Structure 1
Amino acid sequence: MAYQALYRVWRPQTFGDVVGQEAITTTLRNAVATKQVSHAYLFTGPRGTGKTSCSKILAKAVNCLNPQNGEPCNQCEICQAITEGSLNDVIEIDAASNNGVEQIRDIRDKVKYAPTRAEYKVYIIDEVHMLSTGAFNALLKTLEEPPAKVIFILATTEPQKIPATIISRTQRFDFRRIEASDILKRLEYILRDKDLSYDEEGLRLIAQAAEGGMRDALSILDQALSLNNDQLTLNNALQVTGALDKQQLEDYLQAVIKHNAAQALDNLHQLLTSGRSAMRLTDSIIEVCRDLLLVKTDEQLLDEFDRSLVATTVLEAKDQFSQDQLYKMIDAASKTQQDLHNATHATIYLEVLTVKLCEIMSKQPVAANTVDNSQLQSMQQEIDSLKAQLQKFNNNTQSKTATKKQTTPVKHQKPGTKKIHVDQQKINQILANATRQDLNQVREIWPDLMSMLNVTQKAVMKVSKPVAASNEGIVVAFDYAMWFERVMSNQEMLDMLKDNIDKLLKNDADVVIVAAEDWPQIRQNFLQNHNITAQHSEAKPASTQNPAVAEAKKLFDPDLIELKDD
């Protein structure tokens, strides 16, 4: 038998085999088990995340002669015929090459005939967004009122190109990018089943390079195994993915930290000579800077998988970078990455980037949070002086007005701080119609929003979460004031958030961001202005639910509401 690629051999045959889409597979399995299968489904999501596989599994499950709790048995003649692609009652259509009105009219004419062998006739239309406008119109009536025992399954990577009239006639399931850790577990399972040895670090590189697609991960693994007689080594994984070895990246960054441009350029040339990709280098620089930012903010923000891809010595050097330096390095690497798309001499751009990174490090060699003893003494003297002035002011509170005028300007306002204005009126408009259902809907699409961002934007948005939502807009809170202020000052970032959220929610909603530490007070202001309080009377038993509290819980996450006695 001819060799088959890994992604074909290991295509999921049951819902339980599908990785990273537990919510979808559980819903479909329960629908089959309870015989509540819809007549039309729409599967959307990035490539290689399980859309086509789930379509075939669903076709088998509804037609299986011996189903087991919603799963196909894969042993009966119907299951085997569908797996082999020989059952006439399951029709797979590639809309990219069959996108005309004539092909859809042919389906419409044949759909009225009953299935021949199976219980259901199933039409699987892949890349359905490629259908023409006329073809979509021809499909509308059939989707709305199909004959009995017919199921349509539409799959696409670009749901925004599908007419709303089609989407409204289907049950939509959004497949998400698979977590790198889940991909890693699946790859380990496959290699153990094939009894092949592997380097765990090399396997981690492949899982990361797949960018959320299981099919891509298996294809990369196939290439790496073919390089070294069915054995996965770190070197094979590096060659196939073009990723940087930990040691190579560490040597390069150490030279940058010391702002030694000559050594950094030498390390750069060694990287390129060893076959490393220019785009992978800029990706790695951005990712490492992002990791350092997260670690400097909070050690817990960097998960175990991301931490394993970075040399320990690089993470330990976090105090040698200031946050401003890391921001500038990310911006410089992002700009170079854009230039590389149209560059004919990539090496020149990387050399310029290397010198620029060294220059950034040379301007502020000491981290912003490092203070020497002389500075501490000077600050202590200033504090003592201010205390003395304050004591003098307190002793003369009954003196002349002139004295009061002289001492009044001394206030406890931090120099250089500027309170960023939050649009309370717009927040009130959102909260006035906010519901728990709207908030849950936004939280469901939040991972999809994160997958649409680049590495730099993900680093910023990882510490944010939606806290309130309505048809009018969404309120997003940032855990740290630093990140909130950075996004508020970046109009391009705000526009990007609104555009992507509008695409995912299919509406035109405002996006308002707040600092998490300010959110309780903002929420309380709204509640008070609308005669809603989170207080309850001491005379009431603890078990009695205050109507105002119930109303507040409809608007906000109950975990965020704190009840206090007067």
Structure 2
Amino acid sequence: MFAPTELTKKVFLIDEVHMLTKDAFNALLKLLEEPPLHAMFILATTESAKIIPTVMSRCARFDFKPLDDKDLSKLLNSVSQKEKIRISQSASEMMIRSATGSARDLLSLLGQAMTLDPAEITDETIDNLLGSGDQRQIPELIEMLIDKNSRSAITKINEMLFSGYNAKQLQEDSLEYLRYLLLAIIGVKEVVCPQVYLKKITDQTKQVLASDVNSMIKAFLNSAKWFNLAPHPALPLEIAIVEICGDSEKDDDNSRPSKNTKEKEIKKETAPVSREETKQPKTNSPIKTEPVKIKGLEALWEKVLERMQTKNYSLYTCLRMCRPLSFTDENLLVGCKYGFHKERMQEIKQKGILIDLIKEITGDNVQINFEVKNDLQLDSINKAKEKEEAETDPLVADAKNAFAT
């Protein structure tokens, strides 16, 4: 290693040193064990746990804490004044929150924004860079979750995604808002809430408990693991909303079928029983039932979906991704397209609602089991219905007879 030509020391700064391979660390270790007197190494990293112990033991360690929002705000104002660029108050808050205590990330975001508009940075500029939409809609979404209105909440997130809001950014912004709400309920005043959220959070602290906000945070955190697996970006957020709202949606009295309607449907869907059979005394011996044909299962499932849509919309969104596979000895096997639908339906409360609904339709007690079936055909009910209509169509029957002759 050559000595410096002018100064007494030669400084080597290695940024993000945790990204070095094992072989590179071993090569660096030889230099650190016997460094030249004129050489100085500065190893910078944000993940010190990934540095191998032999390298760490040969360094003097200095930990730098993240900057708070006030320091980042001073830095941003200082740079913007020197660069003679105007930044709106809300855009400044968005940039500071996105930096999460890192001056480097803040300045990097500022540099990207200046390439788009070197004179003025607006909310729209930062929204385009971060992939976020109008953050004023986040309090409205949380308000719907507090009211346990899953239908409106799911509609809201789809509107936000359609307007350009990134799904992952929407999840992160929702978690950030819920964190501020939780801290406000607990009474933590050291954390300053952004101005765009302040009024709504003040109102919502009177409407919701800390335990409910904690459940919302857990649901949104759990949704993160499904983003790479879900076929639609909105699906993990929709599952989180269903989990948060649960079954708290009150059924509309007008949507409930009357007693007479129930009796008519049960009589229509169950086979007629002879008078002699009705007189037979009940016994405790198990009743042997013939396996229901797939055609009958599809008709039953179509009725289940129809009833559940008006009875419990949250559960209906999960059942849309499920289909019946078999029914033997009073055991109904239901296939689920994805694992999180199986987990949701296996909850005792949700499973009980489905069992009660099937009993309401058929008059029979059934046991339900669920399994994941990735190749599940979700449109099988519609295809079966079309096939049945085609078979009963007189024109199709005439065509068959014509070709048969």
Q: TM-score with structure 2 length normalisation?
A: 0.54
On the 8 A contact 1:204/1:309 being kept in 2, the answer is no
User: What residue is the counterpart of 2:364 in the other structure?
Assistant: none
Match in the other structure for 2:81: 192
Q: Deviations over 1:266-287 (max 9, x none)?
A: 3222211221121122222222
**Structure 2 residue aligned with 1:350, among 212, 215, 237?**
237
SS in structure 2 of the partner of residue 153 of structure 1: strand
- Matched AA of 2:183: L
Q: Once the 2 structures are TM-superposed, how far is the Cα of residue 337 of structure 1 from its aligned partner?
A: 2.0
Shift of 1:224: 2.9
The correspondence of residues 282-301 of structure 1 with structure 2, limited to 5 A, is 282-301=171-190
Shift of 1:232: 0.8
**Alignment-mate amino acid for residue 235 of structure 1:** E
Query: Secondary structure in 2 aligned to 1:172?
Result: coil
Of 237, 241, 263, which residue of structure 1 is paired with 2:130? Answer: 241
Cα distance in 1, alignment partners of residues 215 and 64 from structure 2: 35
2:263 aligned partner: none
**In the alignment, which of 29, 38, 44 is matched to residue 155 of structure 1?**
44
Structure 2 residue aligned with 1:382: none
Q: 1:263 to 1:300 in 2, by over 3 A?
A: same
Which residue is equivalent to 2:199? 312
CA deviation profile, 1:488-537 (whole Å, cap 9, x unmatched): xxxxxxxxxxxxxxxxxxxxxxxxxxxxxxxxxxxxxxxxxxxxxxxxxx
Q: Post-superposition shift, 1:249?
A: 1.4
**Counterparts of 1:497-508 in structure 2 under 5 Å?**
none
Q: Distance in 2 between matches of 1:151 and 1:335?
A: 45
Q: Does 1:329 align with 2:222?
A: no
Alpha-carbon distance between aligned partners in 1 of 2:114 and 2:29, rounded to the nearest angstrom: 47
In 2: Cα distance, 1:195 partner to 1:164 partner: 46
Alignment of 1:225-236 (within 5 A): 225-228=114-117, 230-236=119-125
- What is the 5 A alignment of 1:91-170? 110=1, 113-129=2-18, 136-137=25-26, 139-140=28-29, 142-170=31-59
RMSD: 2.8
Match of 1:184, SS state, is: helix
**Identical pairs, percent:** 32
Write the distance in 2 (CA, Å) between the matches of 1:166 and 1:181.
35
Structure 1 residues 261 and 147: CA distance shift in structure 2, 3 A: closer
Does 2:60 align with 1:171?
Answer: yes
Deviations 1:352-398 (A, max 9, x none): 333443447659xxxxxxxxxxxxxxxxxxxxxxxxxxxxxxxxxxx
The 1:170/1:227 distance shift into structure 2, 3 A limit, reads closer
Q: Which amino acid aligns with 1:317?
A: Q
Aligned mates of 1:267, 1:222 — CA distance in 2: 33
Alignment of 1:428-439 (within 5 A): none
SS at match of 2:42: strand
Alignment partners' CA distance in 2, 1:288 and 1:240: 20
Residue pair 1:205, 1:243 contacting (<8 A) in 2 also: no
State the aligned residue count: 250
* 1:211 and 2:97 matched: no
**Corresponding residue SS for 1:171:** coil
For residue 7 of structure 2, give the secondary structure of its aligned residue in structure 1.
Answer: coil
Taking a change above 3 Å as real, the CA distance of residues 229 and 166 of structure 1, as seen in their structure-2 partners, is: closer
SS in 1 for 2:44: strand
- Aligned equivalent of 2:70, options 172, 178, 181: 181
Indicate how the Cα distance of structure 1 residues 185 and 341 shifts in structure 2: closer, same or farther if over 3 A, else same: farther
Conservation of the 8 A alpha-carbon contact between 2:136 and 2:197: no
- Verify the 8 A CA contact 2:84 2:119 in the aligned structure 1: no
**Structure 1 CA distance, aligned partners of 2:71 and 2:102?**
11
CA distance in 2, matches of 1:323, 1:360: 20
Report deviation, 1:321. 0.9
Alignment check: 8 A CA contact 1:239 1:276 kept: no
Question: Any unmatched runs of 5+ in structure 2?
Answer: 251-405
The 2-side partners of 1:349 and 1:136 are apart by: 40
Which residue of 2 is the match for residue 341 of structure 1?
228
TM-score (norm 1): 0.40
Q: CA deviation at 1:140?
A: 4.5
For residues 261 and 145 of structure 1, the distance between their equivalents in structure 2, rounded to whole angstroms, comes to 64
Instruction: Write the distance in 1 (CA, Å) between the matches of 2:240 and 2:28.
Output: 53
Q: Could you say if the C-alpha distance between residues 158 and 359 of structure 1 is closer, same or farther in structure 2, counting changes exceeding 3 Å?
A: closer
CA-to-aligned-CA distance 1:63-122 (integer Å, 9 cap, x gap): xxxxxxxxxxxxxxxxxxxxxxxxxxxxxxxxxxxxxxxxxxxxxxx2xx5432222233
Deviates more, 1:333-342 or 1:162-171: 162-171
Deviations 1:254-300 (A, max 9, x none): 33333333433332222112211211222222222222222222142
- Structure 1's 275 and 150: CA in aligned 2 closer, same or farther, altered over 3 A? same
Which residue, out of 266, 276, 299, partners 2:165? 276
Name the aligned partner's letter for residue 347 of structure 1: A
**Residues 1:325 and 1:362: Cα distance change in structure 2 (over 3 Å):** farther
Contact kept, 8 Å, 2:93 with 2:194, in 1: the verdict is no
Q: Deviations over 1:305-348 (max 9, x none)?
A: x3435241233211211222212211211111221133230123
Unaligned 5+ runs, structure 1: 1-109, 364-566
Residue 204 of structure 1 deviates from its aligned partner by 0.9
User: 1:250–1:311: 8 Å Cα contact kept in structure 2?
Assistant: no
Alignment of 1:7-156 (within 5 A): 110=1, 113-129=2-18, 136-137=25-26, 139-140=28-29, 142-156=31-45
Alignment of 1:415-426 (within 5 A): none
Quick one: distance in 1 between partners of 2:236 and 2:141? 16
Report the Cα offset of residue 194 of structure 1.
Answer: 1.9
CA contact (8 A) 2:139 2:177 kept: no
Deviation string 1:403-449 (CA, Å, 9 cap, x unpaired) is xxxxxxxxxxxxxxxxxxxxxxxxxxxxxxxxxxxxxxxxxxxxxxx
1:123·1:151 contact (CA, 8 Å) conserved in 2?
yes
- Give 1:195 shift: 1.9
Deviations 1:4-36 (A, max 9, x none): xxxxxxxxxxxxxxxxxxxxxxxxxxxxxxxxx
Deviates more, 1:132-141 or 1:262-271: 132-141
Residue equivalent to 1:70: none
Choose from 135, 142, 161 the match for 1:253: 142
Give the AA of the match of 1:341.
Answer: N
- Residues 123 and 152 in structure 1, CA contact (< 8 A), matched pair in contact too: yes
